[in-house]
Structure 1
Amino acid sequence: MMRLLLLVLGLWLLTGPGSGAWAASRKAADLRQANGLTAFTPPEKFLAGNFVAEEMNPAFIFGTVKDFVASRKCPTAWLIDEAAKNRPAAPGTPEASEYTLYLEEDCPDQVVYYVFVDQSGLTPQQWIEWRRHFHKSKADQQFGAAKTKLEQACKEGCGVGGELRFLQINGELLGKSPEEYLRSDLRFAPIYDLNQQKKIPK
């Protein structure tokens, strides 16, 4: 009996919350299929990097993506669109670009998608060039202030390699901004105030 309990405990430790090996619930599996998503292992540079949770004018930098994943209460898994599972070009190359990743949190009452954008492969110049590709001449006006603040944060050791773009709960887009949701609902504290240009004490 004791050997059986130890075996069960060992399996739980291997496949517990935060492990991609945890079997997805029926609801999670259905959502994956409906959205054409497949399992994916993000690069360590993205996981170890800090992130923002607002595209146009972020007010805060949060801690590492890895720390955010560890803070979740239910089993998690990283997913990517089946058509985009082949990684983009290496950092610093002309073909480098952003791409979307889904952090799935599979809870008994809901399945949450934290939709991230991996920007860890972009140099600062490529970051703004990528926005010019979509926003044309308005890119500098729309993102110029954010770029300046992020560059200053980088000098202070709070560089950013990712962005939490939006959230979905049970397939429905969350109306609240990710930045607000992280701070008010999840109590996930930021590490840097971009508007005041200073680190936030723990």
Structure 2
Amino acid sequence: MQRGLAACLVSAAFLFLLAVPGALAQSAKAAGLRQSMSLSPMTPPKAFLDGYFIADESQPAFLYGPVGLFARSRTCPVAWLIEDAEKERLSHRDPKNPVFEYTLYLEQDCPDAVTHFVFLDQSAMNPKQWIEWRRQFHKNKAEPEYADTVKRLETAIAGGFPVTGELRFMLVNGELSPGSLEKLLPSGLSCPPRYDCAQGVPVN
């Protein structure tokens, strides 16, 4: 009886790992980074994956994406991950307050390096809620600092480009990658801009 129960539990655990994308790390290097950074698999909401993202919150020049397309177009195996502490914070969010953002990691596991693209999922917020969220951290500085960004995002959304996230930074083998993400995305990551935020028009 006990042997049969144990076999069932092992089988169930194995099926769970197969069902969750990225539950099994593709390499020892990726597995080690997951452990050291306290990362575990996470399935992002569809709204986040379907939307576009910025790479500079203070003055975004372009929109990129959609997020899901960016992930699918990577040349090595990828997995969405979340920090254990962030997952815990997410589980205790106030359901009555929709204004919320949290961090997600897109792991790209290549033979020569493991890269983490660190995103903010902002799919639960519109631009006005976006600036309200920042006001709790920046106080009175939020309005003048981000007013132009809000206008740009509102124009983009009105033009059919929902903005659901931000690429904050990139880690290579656990180390912060320097340089401008807006310059790196089209040149080094094969991710051309889709919308010109300064001009308020799509990029052909």
Q: TM-score range by the shorter chain?
A: 0.7 to 0.9
CA contact (8 A) 1:90 1:96 kept: no
CA contact (8 A) 1:166 1:177 kept: no
What CA distance in whole angstroms lies between the structure 2 residues aligned with 1:123 and 1:57?
17
The reply on whether 1:172 has 2:172 as its aligned counterpart is: no
Task: Identify which range, 175-184 or 69-78, moves more after superposition.
Answer: 175-184
| Structure 1 equivalent of residue 197 of structure 2 | 194
Q: 1:90 to 1:178 in 2, by over 3 A?
A: farther
User: How big is the shift at 1:178?
Assistant: 1.6
The reply on whether 1:181 has 2:167 as its aligned counterpart is: no
Q: After TM superposition, list the pairs within 5 Å mapping 1:14-33 onto structure 2.
A: 20=22, 23-33=25-35
Q: TM-score with structure 2 length normalisation? A: 0.84
| Structure 1 equivalent of residue 8 of structure 2 | none
CA offsets 1:74-118 (integer angstroms, 9 cap, x no match): 000011011222436488x42531100000000000000000000
CA contact (8 A) 1:113 1:169 kept: yes
User: How big is the shift at 1:55?
Assistant: 1.7
Q: After TM superposition, list the pairs within 5 Å mapping 1:1-202 onto structure 2.
A: 20=22, 23-86=25-88, 87=90, 89=93, 93-94=96-97, 96-201=99-204
What CA distance in whole angstroms lies between the structure 1 residues aligned with 2:138 and 2:25?
40
User: How big is the shift at 1:159?
Assistant: 2.0
Ranges in structure 2 where 5+ consecutive residues have no aligned partner: 1-17
CA offsets 1:161-188 (integer angstroms, 9 cap, x no match): 0000000001110111221110121121
CA contact (8 A) 2:116 2:171 kept: yes
Q: TM-score with structure 1 length normalisation? A: 0.85
Match of 1:182, SS state, is helix
Match of 2:169, SS state, is strand
User: How big is the shift at 1:48?
Assistant: 0.9
RMSD: 1.8
Task: Identify which range, 109-118 or 47-56, moves more after superposition.
Answer: 47-56
Task: Identify which range, 122-131 or 155-164, moves more after superposition.
Answer: 122-131
- Find runs of 4+ consecutive structure 1 residues off by over 6 angstroms: none
| Structure 2 equivalent of residue 3 of structure 1 | none
User: How big is the shift at 1:21?
Assistant: 5.5
CA contact (8 A) 1:22 1:75 kept: no
Task: Identify which range, 170-179 or 102-111, moves more after superposition.
Answer: 170-179
Identity of aligned residues (%): 49
